[in-house]
């Protein structure tokens, strides 16, 4: 049961916001913030009111059932109505619990996605490239913008590593469950015997944070500059434009050399460093909160094998929720991606609800 006081406070908040927004006394920024909050609560307010009136409605029906003077037909109607009322109340309670779950402040942020080839040599780099193309297609379908931060190609034309920024609406909440080891099973083009090989790539999705979200002291940074190098150590720049930024307290280090400008490389490096430091702190807090509970779905463990892409059988399987989709090609084209994400999100919500009970 959700405490009555909690529901009453939610309804009172809705009413208070309604008055504030209609007063004409809020500045533009505050009006936008209050409007968003009001819009969020407005989606659940009818459910909250019905949940609050449940006991009174139930009491009225119980009176009819307990009244010896009530005729059989009226009692039968009351029984059916009571069953429907209880069933709807269970649904309303679940909706409210989901709404009242602590919000992840990072969910509405943009994201930085890092993809690295893992075990499997050149085939792993080709798979890393396939994954990046998949996220590009998903981004295009959702009208998100994707911007390369750094990219390192392999001899086979695949990707050793790619880091990109994705901007749009609720990016992190959509992509956060992609972090982990993605495994592919297929026959490489170079395989003459037709044998299926297994290789892997790691994906890390980090919330993109602004300077106001995370203060980094200049004294905590060591910045080294050097000349950017091309394949085989070939110098591609005659100036010290490449930048390595080390966060001394944590030892985290970021190198950036894709731009010809030292200033641009430093800005890109700081963007990655802020995201990694922010995620490091979030992971620490999450670990402290969940020491006594285990969840199937994580959002940060890059060593966890989360998904297998099996080409011979045309299927993609997410191991955390035991979901298999027999539409691998559609998935890689971004077509069936939402189906997987919705299932993961639903499972994560169920776990959060069970932890409340």
Kindly report the number of other CB atoms within 10 A of residue 160's CB atom.
Answer: 17
Please state the rounded mean pLDDT for residues 5-32.
92
Report which of 302, 214, 205, 288 is spatially closest to residue 250, judged by C-alpha positions: 214
Please state the rounded mean pLDDT for residues 55-77.
90
Residue-level pLDDT at 99 = 86
Looking at CATH, the fold of the domain delimited by 218-289 is given as Double Stranded RNA Binding Domain (3.30.160)
> Residue 344 corresponds to which tokens in the numbers above?
């993961």
> Residue 137 corresponds to which tokens in the numbers above?
């297609």
Residue-level pLDDT at 295 = 54
> Residue 279 corresponds to which tokens in the numbers above?
């995620």
* H/E run at residue 88: helix 72-100
Confidence band (pLDDT; 50, 70, 90) for 232?
very low
User: pLDDT (tens digit, 9 = 90+) per residue, 318-337?
Assistant: 999 999 999 999 999 999 99
Report which of 60, 22, 17 is spatially closest to residue 42, judged by C-alpha positions: 17
Handedness of CA 339, 345, 351, 357 (dihedral sign): negative
Q: Using alpha carbons only, how large is the chain's radius of gyration in Å?
A: 26
**Class of 111-208+307-356 per CATH?**
alpha beta
Residue-level pLDDT at 157 = 86
Contact between residue 307 and residue 318 where contact means Cβ atoms under 8 Å apart: yes
Please state the rounded mean pLDDT for residues 297-304.
62
Please state the rounded mean pLDDT for residues 147-162.
91
The arrangement of strands across the sheet holding 145-153 comes to 145-153, 159-167, 111-117, 197-207, 180-186, 305-310, 315-318, 323-325
Kindly report the number of other CB atoms within 10 A of residue 24's CB atom.
Answer: 7
Kindly report, as residue ranges, where domains of CATH 3.30.70.1660 are found in the chain. 111-208+307-356
Contact between residue 84 and residue 343 where contact means Cβ atoms under 8 Å apart: no
Backbone dihedral angles phi then psi of residue 352, each to the nearest 5 degrees: -65, -40
DSSP strand E in the chain: where?
111-117, 145-153, 159-167, 180-186, 197-207, 221-226, 242-247, 252-256, 305-310, 315-318, 323-325
Q: Is the pLDDT of residue 178 over 90?
A: yes
- Complete DSSP assignment for 91-137: HHHHHHHHHHSPP-TTTTS-EEEEEEE-SSHHHHHHHHHHHHHHHHH
Distance CA 348, CA 321 (A): 10
Q: Is the pLDDT of residue 78 over 70?
A: yes
Q: Is the pLDDT of residue 42 over 60?
A: yes
Distance CA 267, CA 37 (A): 33
Confidence band (pLDDT; 50, 70, 90) for 260?
confident
Contact between residue 34 and residue 26 where contact means Cβ atoms under 8 Å apart: yes
> Residue 248 corresponds to which tokens in the numbers above?
């001394």
Residue-level pLDDT at 289 = 56
Task: Give the percent of the chain with pLDDT over 90.
Answer: 57
Residue-level pLDDT at 20 = 93
Using a 10 angstrom Cβ sphere, with 0-12 exposed, 13-18 middle and 19 or more buried, the burial of residue 71 is exposed
Kindly report, as residue ranges, where domains of CATH 3.30.160.20 are found in the chain. 218-289
Contact between residue 154 and residue 160 where contact means Cβ atoms under 8 Å apart: yes
């Amino acid at each position: 049961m959700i405490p009555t006081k909690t529901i009453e406070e939610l309804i009172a908040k809705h009413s208070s916001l309604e008055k504030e927004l209609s007063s004409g006394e809020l500045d533009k920024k505050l009006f936008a913030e209050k409007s968003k909050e009001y819009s969020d609560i407005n989606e659940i307010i009818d459910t909250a009111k019905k949940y609050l009136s449940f006991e009174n409605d139930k009491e009225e029906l119980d009176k009819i059932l307990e009244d010896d003077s009530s005729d059989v037909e009226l009692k039968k109607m009351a029984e059916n109505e009571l069953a429907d009322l209880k069933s709807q109340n269970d649904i309303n309670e679940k909706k409210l619990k989901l709404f009242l779950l602590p919000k992840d402040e990072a969910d509405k942020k943009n994201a930085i996605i890092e993809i690295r080839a893992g075990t499997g040599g050149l085939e792993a780099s080709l798979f890393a490239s396939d994954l990046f193309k998949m996220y590009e297609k998903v981004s295009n379908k959702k009208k998100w913008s994707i911007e390369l931060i750094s990219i390192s190609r392999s001899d086979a034309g695949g990707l050793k590593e790619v880091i990109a920024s994705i901007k749009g609406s609720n990016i992190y909440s959509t992509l956060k469950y992609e972090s982990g080891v993605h495994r592919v099973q297929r026959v490489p083009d170079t395989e003459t015997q037709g044998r299926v090989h297994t290789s892997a790539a790691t994906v890390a999705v980090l919330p993109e944070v602004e300077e106001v979200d995370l203060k980094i002291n200049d004294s905590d940074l060591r910045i080294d500059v050097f000349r950017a190098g091309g394949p085989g150590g070939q110098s591609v720049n005659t100036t010290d434009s490449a930048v390595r930024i080390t966060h001394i307290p944590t030892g985290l280090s970021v190198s950036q050399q894709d731009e010809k400008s030292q200033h641009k490389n430093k800005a890109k490096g700081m963007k990655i460093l802020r995201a990694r430091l922010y995620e490091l702190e979030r992971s620490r807090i999450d670990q402290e909160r969940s020491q006594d509970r285990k969840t199937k779905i994580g959002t940060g463990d890059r060593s966890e094998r989360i998904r297998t892409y099996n080409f011979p059988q045309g299927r993609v399987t997410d191991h955390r929720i035991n979901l298999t989709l027999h539409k691998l090609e559609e998935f890689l084209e971004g077509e069936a991606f939402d189906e997987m994400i919705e299932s993961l999100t639903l499972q994560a919500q169920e776990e959060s609800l069970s932890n409340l009970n």
